[in-house]
Every structure is written in C-alpha cells, then in structure tokens.
Amino acid sequence: MERKHKTVIMVDDDAANLAAGYSALAEKYNVFTASSGEDLFQILYRVSPDVILLDIEMPGMNGYDVIKELKSSEHNKHIPVIFLSGHTDPVDENEGLELGAVGHVTKPFSREQLVEQIDKHV
C-alpha cells in the first residue's frame, strides 16, 4: 500500500462537495475537511497541510476573506491555496490569483482535475 505523504484540507460549506472531494482524494492524500473558514483555522492549529482547497461562496468568512487571513499569517502564508468554485467568470478566478491563490478548479470538479492541480502545486 502506498504511503500517503501529502495533506490536503478541503473547505466548503456544502457537505455533498466535502464528501465528493474526500472520496476523490482520500486514496492518495491525507484529507481533512472543514465546513467554514473558521473551522479551517481551528484545524490549522493541529494540522500543517501541503495545500488548501477553498470554496469562494460560504456564509461568514467567504473564500476571499479566508485567503487574506491565511496570507497575512507568517505561519500559514506559505500554504498553496486552490479555489474550488461554481464561479466560471474569469474576474473571480483573477481575484483569487491576485489574493495569492495558485489555482482555480470549477465545480463540479473531477478527481483528475483536483489531483492534477494538487500535484502541480505541492
């Protein structure tokens, strides 16, 4: 059995998306899920991920708020962030990249898309 070395945290307020992402990635990566930005920051106290998959539209802190906070933290700013979003407008993708994201995957996503983006950035 291949040892899992990379750790992914997936942040999405939709439980079905979290389940689909976990199912798609758990065979290859150590996967943690968070249903909000606030939950993500709690997980970051005990887990040091290789990449964060981050939804844009969430109640409370949206994905843009989360990445701003991540990138302002000495402890977390090095973690690559890939946005997962139903937004297909290039303006949304560009905003994420300008805030420090390394990639953008449109939902619904395929396992191949996620793995390709993760492997490209970790």
CA dist., res. 61 & res. 97, Å (int): 18
**CATH architecture label of 7-121:** 3-Layer(aba) Sandwich (3.40)
User: Is the whole-model pTM more than 0.75?
Assistant: yes
The residues facing 83 across adjacent strands are 54, 104
Residue 12: half-sphere exposure toward Cβ, Cα within 13 Å: 21
pLDDT in tens, the chain (122 residues): 455 689 999 999 999 999 999 999 999 999 999 999 999 999 999 999 999 999 999 999 999 999 999 999 999 999 999 999 887 777 878 888 999 999 999 888 889 999 999 999 98
User: CB–CB of 117/82 below 8 Å?
Assistant: yes
